[in-house]
Chain A
Amino acid sequence: MLVQFYNVSKIYPNGVKALDDISLRIERGEFIFLMGSSGAGKSTLVKMFFREEIPTRGQIFIASRSIVRMKRSEVPKLRRNIGIVFQDFKLLENKTVSENISFAMEVVGANIRDIKIRVPEVIEMVGLKGKEKCFPGELSGGEQQRVGVARALANRPLMLIADEPTGNLDIRISTEIMELLYDINRKGTTVIMATHAQELVRAAHKRIIMLENGRIISDSLAGEFFL
């Protein structure tokens, strides 16, 4: 078991209740969709995984460690085990594809030898061979998101968190990104993806967690839910 949420609630200082008594269990190697309309609490839930938000009540364990009681100085260690893919890619515009990926390794203190081996590896994995020297501005949206995925994979995370990774992409390109994520999942990485793109989810036959008003309203396989 990789992740466990126990009765997690989040109330923001302005009184908004974003999450309401969420309990959740995620096994190693799972692929999970987090669904729900905007305001349902998806974003807050996603941020809990890498301790960008801390629960007001409840406990969260990742690999058997409480991340609620975690010291601030231990947070970087947690995050090194979690790759994050963003809706808006968050690539550094003044760095090339290669540099964007090696940056992620440099900032966690990887040594140069590992970086030189790993960067071409993940570039090949996401199908961007030949584009190493391009700047983000020279790439299409789909290609930019591939760089985002490659960067998230660079440090060999246990878990990949993707927050609306296809939100800015059209359906054809989105399907390509999904194939990439399934592929990563098949190789053993746990993937958690927040989305509201029903057409992608329907085709997948994966576990789906539906949120509404901060509560889980269903947790099931795709087939069961949409039938």
Chain B
Amino acid sequence: MIIKNMLYFIREALNSLMRNRLLSFATISTVSISILILGIAVLMTMNAGSFMNRLESDVEIIAFLEKNLSSSQIRDAGEEIEKMDGVKQLTFVSKKEALHRLQENFGGKEYNLGTTIGENPLPNSYEIKAADPHNVADIAKKVEKVHGVYKVNYGQGVVEKLFNITKWIRVISVIFIVLVSLGAVLLIATTIRLAIFARRKEIKLMQLIGATDWFIRWPFFIEGILLGSLGALVAIVLLLLGYDSLISKTDSIYFFSLLSDPIILSKIYISLFLTGSVLGVLGTYISLNRFLDV
């Protein structure tokens, strides 16, 4: 029954969309805007997330060793650290190596740091990489207690700051999305209400002739879904174009590479499309319940 009548329902829905052209246009635009904001927010949080992961994986723990350790004591400390949970990689940097790096970074060829500062004041150290960046702070705390370690350094604060920023992006975009989606749903409901009003005589007649409730409801649901999904489609096209050009523009910036996995992206776009349709169904549902006595 439903499949047989689908053509009729779709025809009725399209007629109704065309009858209230201006309102249909306004509704589709509002849905587009809300889906667009949603899409931007999702892309931003996902990119921030992957950016943070990369940044965090670069965060190293440096354990500085006390001056007067024997080489076996140094080895013991290294072994103890290596046994800890979550430690991925351990590198020993001797005081000589450390001075060498300092020379390369700051001294260049004009100054010979070795002669300028006299005796090498730098300590021996271990560079530790964590398997999971989230554990950096924990590992650092444990390393601090290892015998022979007198100081531990890691990107204290940086990670937390990034977390905070993404948290705020999330909160603000959720508020925005909720508000704009609410507007979109209400506008869809209004459009459907007008469609019901325009056809009220027809609907009454259909009821008296013996049309089922669902036969009467279907065209309105299709109209609502069309409004929602058309709006989503417009938003997705805009996002696709905008994001693609953003990717090609940031391509040359090292460390700032945008998420470009086509599978993840298409999943995002499909979800956005479905969200639009759901908004349409919601709007229709509200109006059908309030204004259609079927």
Contact = CB atoms under 8 A, between A and B. Distances in A.
A195 B31 CA distance: 53
Interface residues of A, number: 22
A50 B4 CA distance: 27
B201 A109 contact: no
Interface string A89-111: 01010000000000010111101
B206 A107 contact: yes
B4 A109 contact: yes
Interface string B201-215: 110011111111101
A50 to B, nearest CB: 7
A77 B201 contact: no
A108 B210 contact: yes
Interface in B192-249: 201-202, 205-213, 215
A72 B212 CA distance: 10
A64 interface: no
A90 B205 CA distance: 7
A108 B209 contact: yes
Contacts of B4: 109, 111
Interface string A79-95: 11010100000101000
Given A73-B213, A90-B201, A92-B201, A109 B208 contact: no
A76 B210 CA distance: 4
Residues of B contacting A: mostly: helix
A109 B215 contact: yes
Given A109-B4, A111-B4, A104 B201 contact: no
Contacts, number: 45
B211 A108 contact: yes
B8 interface: yes
B207 to A, nearest CB: 8
Contacts of B213: 72-73, 76
B210 A80 contact: yes
A111 B4 CA distance: 9
Contacts of B208: 50, 52, 79, 84
Contacts of A52: 208
A78 interface: yes
B211 A107 contact: yes
Given A106-B8, A107-B215, A109-B4, A79 B202 contact: no
Interface residues of B, number: 16
Given A107-B206, A109-B5, A76 B201 contact: no
B212 A76 contact: yes
Nearest to A157: B210
B188 to A, nearest CB: 25
A9 interface: no
A79 B209 contact: yes
Interface in A131-179: 151, 155
B1 interface: yes
A155 B209 CA distance: 9
A10 B254 CA distance: 82
Nearest to A111: B4
Contacts of A77: 210
A109 B216 CA distance: 12
B202 A92 contact: yes
Nearest to A107: B211
A84 B208 CA distance: 8
Nearest to B209: A104
User: 9 closest A-B pairs (Cβ-Cβ)?
Assistant: A79-B210, A80-B210, A107-B211, A76-B210, A76-B212, A107-B206, A104-B209, A108-B210, A109-B1
Interface of A: 50, 52, 72-73, 75-80, 82, 84, 90, 92, 104, 106-109, 111, 151, 155
Interface of B: 1, 4-5, 8, 201-202, 205-213, 215
10 contacts: A72-B213, A79-B207, A79-B208, A82-B210, A90-B201, A90-B205, A104-B209, A107-B210, A108-B210, A109-B4
